[in-house]
Structure formats: C-alpha cells, structure tokens
Amino acid sequence: MKFFLDTADVDEIRQWNETGLLDGVTTNPSLILKSGRDIKEVLKEICDLVDGDVSGEVAATDYDTMLSEGRALAGIASNICIKLPITMDGVRACKTLVDEGFKTNMTLCFSAPQALLVAKAGATYVSPFIGRLDDSGIDGMELIEEVRAIYDNYDFDTKILAASIRSLNHVKDCAIAGADVATLPPSTIEKLVKHPLTDAGLAAFLADWEKTGQKI
C-alpha cells in the first residue's frame, strides 16, 4: 500500500520525503487555507519535491469551470492529479480530463455506487472518506471492502485512495482490505512506527549494552 501525506505544509512534506517512504501528496481547499499560501505556488513547490502524484483540487462546481481550473492545475507540473468532487458535473469533467490524458482523483466518496461511477469514468483514484462515515455512525471500512470487491470483479484500473483516516486501526484495516493508497496526516503517519513494547525493549537492550562497557 502506498502512503500519501495529506497536507500542504511544504516543510512537513520535505521531512517525510527524505525518509524515502512518501509516495505522493494530497491537498484540498482547507489545507491550502491552513498553509496561507497561493495554491499554484505551493503545489509547484510540492511537485518539485515529490516524485509521486500530487492532488490539487478544483474549487468550481460546474462542468466548464471545472475543466478550466483542472487544466490550469495540470499545467503546474506533470505529476499533478486533478481532484474533483463526485457530482454529476464532476464525473463528467473527470471523463473529459481523463480523455485529455490527465490524472484525476475523485473525492468525497461515501458510497460504493459513487465509486463504481467514477471508475467507469476512468478516474485514476477514488477517495472514500472513512473517518467521516464513522462520524455519521456508518462503518467506513465496509465501504473500502465493497469498493475493492467491485473493482476486482470488473478489473477497473481506478485506485482506492483511502482518505479521512483518523487512527492506526484505519491504516491497518485499509491494508487488510486491499486499499491501494492511504493518505495520512503527518500526526498519524508518525504513529505508525510507535509501540510501547518496542520502546521498553530498546531501553532494556541499551541498559544491558551500557553494562558491557563495549563500543562498536
């Protein structure tokens, strides 16, 4: 499973990119607002840092303006992935942009029928929002499992990009269910390496090593 970082903070992206574990980046209007920067400027800087796909989201809701904004975003760098909402205009814009050779990420997916529709439109990625479904009393992981089954049934090329991930269990369950990508906030990806038994074991080993008086 690939890991994308869900942020528009260039310093955080640079830090994680240096680990060699980062496969891409996702942004959205809320993250751009948090960055306090111009969208084209920050996306260009991110694309220069990261080799993988970088999602930049359109702000329009109508087909024609979505196309205009999507093409403008795609012009920033070759690894831009145009992020579109799953509406009828968004799906239509997805099909047009895919036919023009652009990558697309269909966002705000909350049902398997939505995922089926965007796959038929040729989307590069679909982004099911796990945490927001959990918040509404629906098991978000069931959606990942349903979409995986549908895509496997028909050999769709669209990749499942699990989004709105809030916990380590979300990451684990997405990997088990077969999500292609998980996009994670920095606070969550940092927790992946943590376990109290690892810390305790390392402390014991270091204490014993100190007693040997040796150096390597």
Question: Which residues are tagged catalytic?
Answer: 83
Quote the CA–CA distance of 104 and 127 in Å, as a whole number.
11
Quote the CA–CA distance of 215 and 16 in Å, as a whole number.
31
Q: What angle do CA 17, 69, 157 make, to 5 degrees?
A: 60
60 in helix, strand or coil? Answer: coil
Count of all residues that appear for the chain in the document: 216
Task: Find all residues with CB under 8 Å of 201, minimum gap 6, and list them.
Answer: none
